[in-house]
Amino acid sequence: MDHDTWSLRALWNIYATDIFALWHTYRIPIILSTFAILITIRTILHLRVNRERVSDTPPPASPTLQAAKEKGPVEYLEKKTNGEKVPRRIVGGLKKKKSSEENLVPAEKKIQVLVFFSSLTTTTEKTAKVFTEGLAQCTKDITSSTSTIFLEPEILDLSYIDYDDYFINPPKADPEVQYFYLLIVPTYNIDTVLDNYLEHLQETHNDFRIDTAPLSPLLGYSVFGFGDREGWPTEEEGFCSQARDIDKWMAKLTGRKRAFPLGMGDPKTDAVERLREWKEGVEDTLRHIAETGSLGEGVAGSGDAVESDVEDVDDEDDVLFEEQKLAKRKVKEKKGDLNDLEDLGGSIPKAEDAEDEALEVDFTTYSKKPSTTTAVVKEMVPKNSPTYNSLTKQGYTIVGSHSGVKICRWTKSAMRGRGSCYKYSFYGIASHQCMETTPSLSCSNKCVFCWRHGTNPVGTTWRWTVDPPTSSSPASRQATTRKSKCYAECPACEQSALQKQ
């Protein structure tokens, strides 16, 4: 027995020594291969579990049909049009959230639909009134079938409202009421109230003192435009250009709360059909809001894939696009040889080619030899130029040929007794007595704090006629006084502030 125990112990000692020697020699490869095996097993198990989960889901009954449904009518339209250019129709619609994501039992809330319109020859006004009556009936039906209370839709003429009351923030009279905006507008390539309205939207978006999307508390918005295909056959030529601009600015101001794609129609041809489609879409959206409390995922573009893409990458410039195109169109129509001062890049080579063109005087560098060429000096902003039209449309009064005045929104605000700008808080400067004036409408900078828009002429050198300061300075003062006197009629303005102007 003793002998057996001894021999086993000796055997064990030999094996143990061998095992330890082996371990010391091969421990690193052993550890690494163990890890590798464990990771492989773990990965295999993980993949198997996933595959099992997928296989639990029953296959869709008709995958082809489902895919077609998801792509929606856009693809259908693409197939139908077969690449041909046809008038754009309202396509797409509300992308509803999956039922699990929806708040199926929304708290009781009140919704007020505001229908804004503008009209010169009454077509839009009449249509907007009929539309609002029809909408009132629909909202009544929704109210009776859901827990949402729709207040009677209100119709508002853009010519008679204060934009500050509706387009800087949604109205706040009743905190329980949420607003939904509908805009029905024509397009005019002449000066109308819509130019001021568009300017207001643009200024509000670009005003660094307020949020870039101050209308985001709105439930949603949608725009319908009337145009004339006889005079403006395509969108490129200006069909419904102002409705398209309004739609884009509203998308920016609301943080992309476009509830239904922009509708466009020509009263002489397809307006009835297009408006009917748009109305149905809007009503469908309102019903969805009443049932779920939200817009769902909203509509990114107009349902047109191309437009949605463009909007994803666009920035500020896309909205100026229509205005710039309009200016170009006007230049083409006139076929004049006037240079657009905003397009200095294009005009410089012309100046070099033609001997009788004005040469630039660069004040920032010194030339060794004085130029012998006789310069033909032109006006910076001639009265018949597109730049003149564009600047006056923006609210400038052009003084002489290169100076200008404009009323800043803080000046207007101070005249209404609604507060002055930081200059008042810091230095006690009364905003209602300010005079925003410049002796040069051309500026090479686009300063954040400037009261001018960035669309004025841009130039780093002076190559225009110079007005005598003795005439332009008093003229600027007169122009400012004349402009501010327009506010004398405004009931919201404080007479004491006006008198001090």
Per CB under 6 A, residues contacting ligand FMN are: 119-125, 186-190, 226-228, 231-232, 238-241, 267
Sequence-distant (≥ 6) Cβ neighbours of residue 478 within 8 angstroms: none
**Shortest distance, position 261 Cβ to ligand FMN, whole Å:** 18
**Shortest distance, position 187 Cβ to ligand FMN, whole Å:** 4
Q: Which is nearer to ligand FMN, 158 or 300 (CB)?
A: 158
**Shortest distance, position 231 Cβ to ligand FMN, whole Å:** 6
263-265 β-sheet, strand order? 149-157, 110-117, 177-186, 220-226, 263-265
**Shortest distance, position 87 Cβ to ligand FMN, whole Å:** 12
**Shortest distance, position 115 Cβ to ligand FMN, whole Å:** 14
Residue nearest to ligand FMN (CB): 227
CA pair distance 420, 415, nearest whole angstrom: 9
CA pair distance 53, 484, nearest whole angstrom: 72
Amino acid at 192: T
In sequence order, what E strands does 325-470 have? 397-399, 403-406, 436-438
Q: Which is nearer to ligand FMN, 231 or 417 (CB)?
A: 231
**Shortest distance, position 328 Cβ to ligand FMN, whole Å:** 14
Q: Which is nearer to ligand FMN, 124 or 178 (CB)?
A: 124
Provide the 8-state DSSP code for 183.
Answer: E
DSSP β-ladder status, 436-438 and 403-406: antiparallel
Q: Which is nearer to ligand FMN, 188 or 451 (CB)?
A: 188
CA pair distance 319, 341, nearest whole angstrom: 20
CB 123 within 8 A of CB 186: yes
**Shortest distance, position 272 Cβ to ligand FMN, whole Å:** 13
Dig out the tokens for 121 from the structure: 């020859």
Q: Which is nearer to ligand FMN, 159 or 392 (CB)?
A: 159
Dig out the tokens for 230 from the structure: 């006889």
Q: Which is nearer to ligand FMN, 89 or 412 (CB)?
A: 89
CA pair distance 274, 280, nearest whole angstrom: 10
Q: Which is nearer to ligand FMN, 93 or 238 (CB)?
A: 238
CA pair distance 314, 256, nearest whole angstrom: 13
